[in-house]
Amino acid sequence: MKKLIGAALTAIAMTTPAAANEPYGIWETKRDRKGAYLHVRVHPCDNNAEMLCGTVHQTFNTPHTEIVGRPIFWDLQPTSNTKWGGGTVWDAETDRNFDAKVIMGSTRLRVEGCVGFLCDGQNWSRVQ
């Protein structure tokens, strides 16, 4: 019975799309107090494909369309299969940069900005 369950779990894992385990794609940020939010394209950085970058792909409920195409985080290096750090994140609300880390969950991407050991961030939902 245990072998049958193990074989079934292996078969399910093999049919799960690889993209579900990767951060690449379009992610929706948390909505601010006015209902504004972004879609961010997460991709390998242009200057180093091993690093993780995120670029504003689309804006919603905000007049600030000029930020489309702007990097929102960059130069994050992998620290494990599901974590990246050592890069920078831009906070659109305060127009400030912070040390960044990203954590990939099963259905969410946690993006954090840090000052020293104090971090705060958002959970983003996958759009595609």
- CB-based contact 87:65 (threshold 8 Å): no
pTM score, whole prediction = 0.81
Grade residue 16 by pLDDT with cuts at 50, 70 and 90. Answer: very low
Q: Could you tell me the fold of the domain covering 22-126?
A: Lipocalin (2.40.128)
3-state secondary structure of 83: strand
Spatial distance between the Cα atoms of 30 and 114, rounded to a whole number of angstroms: 18
| 58-117 tens-digit pLDDT | 999 998 889 999 999 999 999 999 999 999 999 988 899 999 999 999 899 999 999 999
Looking up tokens 């074989």 gives 7
